[in-house]
Amino acid sequence: MRLDANAGTLEAKVDAHTWADRERHVAELAAHHVGLGRELFGGFRHLASAAELGASVFGGFEADDLARQAGQIHAEDA
């Protein structure tokens, strides 16, 4: 890997075929959802706007909308 912060590039130093054939890994976090502090920030994860919009949790949320989503948030974080 080559990271050039000045040019804003990240380059994998392998051929395209090797890059395309690599095994992809997905983190399994189900066993680590509770007890490591993740539950403390569950509400923020649900309230955050899209990354393209800054992933903010401030503004754009009305109390009645939050009340309707409370059951969904609790169920997903359980």
Structural domain span for residue 17: 2-77
Residue 78 has pLDDT above 60, yes or no: no
Distance separating alpha carbons of residues 75 and 78, to the nearest angstrom: 5
Per-residue confidence at 74, pLDDT binned at 50, 70, 90?
A: low
CB contact set of 29 (below 8 Å; sequence gap of 6+): 38
pTM score, whole prediction: 0.31
Distance separating alpha carbons of residues 78 and 30, to the nearest angstrom: 11
pLDDT tens, position by position, 11-58: 989 999 998 998 988 888 777 666 667 777 777 777 777 777 777 777
According to DSSP H, which parts of the chain are helical? 16-21, 42-47, 63-77
Q: How many domains does the chain have?
A: 1
Tokens of 21: 């054939």
